[in-house]
A and B are shown apart, each in its own frame.
Chain A
Amino acid sequence: MSADQVAFLVLAPISVGAGIAMLLQRNAVHAALLLVVNLVTVGIFYLMLAAPFLFAVQIIVYAGAIMVLFLFVIMLLGVDRAEPLEEPIRFQRTAAVLLGVGILAELVTAVRAGVGFRALGPAAFAETGADTAALARALFRSYVLPFEATSVLLIVAAVAAMVLARRRPAPATAEPEGVVDAEEAAPEEVGA
């Protein structure tokens, strides 16, 4: 058994366990932390699957930015109080379990049926050093248009998030207080 396999067999249960624990966690901050554990382990899988650049992106974007955003909002809203887990809609939980298990079963079957992905056998992927450069070439030659579209999407999303979350100055006040950005508004909200 190679080092990769050992690492996988150790990390996969941790990752799945963190995911399950996240679901059963009432406290939103704890759930977010468990998700971070999950994301980091997935990042390590990328490393083992010959995608070191994606590992870096996973840590920087997911663990470093997206999850901090989650934590920020959770702390800002003060919704870190324990949330009751019982369901208002009858059978929702049962249905969720059934559907989830159903999908798992379906996927497992699909994997077992094996759609010919053993054809190539163990593939020795490109040398990791050249990998990032090769990825860049693929990204900026074959996929330039989607790349640009994504950048537009990101800008639109950033502007939209700012516009949505912005506090409009109250119309009645004689003196508009101007643009109050989220950071400035944060302390008042937490203190309240």
Chain B
Amino acid sequence: MDLLDWALLLGRVAVVFAGLLVTVMLLIWMERKVIADMQTRMGPMRAGPRGVLITLADGIKLFFKEGIVPAEADRPVYLIAPVIAMLPAFLAFAVIPFGTSVTLFGREVPFQLADPSIGILWVLAMASLGVYGIVLAGWSSGSNYPLLGAVRSSAQIISYEIGMSLALVAVLMYSGSLRLSEIVEAQARVWNVIPQFPAFVVYLIAGLAETNRPPFDLPEAESELVAGFHTEYSGIRFALFYLGEYVNTVTVASVAVTLFLGGWRGPAPDVLPWVWPLLWFLAKVLAVVYGYVWVRATLPRIRFDRLMAFGWKVLIPFGLVWVLLTGAIVVLPDVYGRGPVVAGAAVVFGALVLASVAAPLLRPRPAAEVGR
């Protein structure tokens, strides 16, 4: 490492940080516009062309607002909580490969801040640290509603983290590597979303819960908890929470793209070979985020006990079964050869289909249903 390498590294960090912020800015605008469109409104129109600068305007407004610290608050924790909420999301993004590489000053500069051998696990680790910001904010506010939001969120995020890790485990078993660049490499022929579709679904649902997005935004449910964990926050600290939440959304979507949707891969013409992967990556991330916005506009918030029940009784068992199946898919052909395994799988699948068709026929119908 000489000076140029360090400079390039710093430059990369700065560019990624700024790029993430700009993406988040556009994302918030996009979310408001899309939701407005789905509700046949216009959404923000004044700040900039078609209101594209609305986030900037909001940010400036929040920056100049008074930041209130409640008398009951635990001051140091209260002040540091928004930063803790934002940091892990940024750090998790550091391992995402969002493009190939470009040659600058005779050095190859990869579009990835770091490619540690523990790739996916780094993402998971950062996701598991994300809960602290919310919990600490809720506790330190010294007020009941934030505390309730914090208790809810710690239960929610820990529970859905298990489902999320199960989805990731299935992918890394299938790809045979923890390194995110190698996982993207492994998707050169088929994107993981096809062989790993169940894991994809589990990941997207768990991702909704991890980012506290509707319909899983129980930690800040306004109809029950005022604003949940950030009730007492105002001004720039509230803005940090807001920002952190959206950075988190971008990170979750980026991980989904990297693990399931082929990362930066996509057909590209031969001019400027390093631009197209970036554009593909951005397009895929936006597609996933659009899905999240769509879900938000469509589904009502679900009740907390149902949320927990769904996480523990549906998502986790399903994820476990899928991990088992993936293990079988990966290992069995090596042991017994492809033919017998495919035949066996076909037999089992056929039996399952038969059973699911036969079971309702054999079961005596409940009286209420007969009357209908």
Contact = CB atoms under 8 A, between A and B. Distances in A.
B298 interface: no
Given A64-B131, A190-B148, A80 B124 contact: no
A72 B77 CA distance: 16
A14 to B, nearest CB: 16
B320 to A, nearest CB: 12
Contacts of A63: 125, 128-129
A42 interface: no
Contacts of B116: 52, 128
B77 A29 contact: yes
Given A65-B158, A68-B135, A56 B144 contact: no
Interface residues of A, number: 34
A59 interface: yes
B136 interface: yes
A156 to B, nearest CB: 18
Contacts of A36: 132
Interface in B123-165: 124-125, 127-129, 131-132, 135-136, 139-140, 144, 147-148, 150-152, 154-155, 158, 161, 165
Contacts of A33: 77, 136
Interface in A53-99: 53, 55-57, 59-60, 63-65, 68-69, 71-72, 75-76, 80
Interface centre among A33, A68, A69, A71 (most CB of B within 10 A): A68
A122 interface: no
A59 B150 CA distance: 20
Given A29-B74, A53-B118, A56-B118, A64 B128 contact: yes
A171 interface: no
Contacts of A60: 121, 124-125, 128, 165
Contact of B125 (A59, A69, A183): A59
Contacts of A59: 125, 128-129
B135 A71 contact: yes
B73 interface: no
A132 B144 CA distance: 44
A75 B151 contact: yes
B197 interface: no
A80 B122 contact: no
Interface of A: 27, 29-30, 33, 36, 52-53, 55-57, 59-60, 63-65, 68-69, 71-72, 75-76, 80, 128-129, 131-132, 181-184, 186-187, 190-191
23 contacts: A33-B77, A33-B136, A36-B132, A55-B125, A56-B118, A56-B121, A59-B128, A60-B121, A60-B165, A64-B128, A64-B158, A68-B131, A71-B154, A72-B135, A72-B151, A129-B117, A129-B179, A132-B117, A132-B118, A183-B304, A184-B304, A187-B152, A190-B147
* Among all A-B residue pairs, the 3 with the closest Cβ atoms: A64-B128, A56-B121, A59-B125
Given A29-B77, A63-B125, A190-B148, 20 more contacts: A29-B74, A29-B136, A33-B77, A55-B125, A56-B125, A60-B128, A63-B128, A64-B127, A64-B128, A68-B132, A71-B139, A72-B135, A75-B135, A75-B150, A80-B139, A132-B118, A183-B152, A184-B304, A187-B152, A191-B144
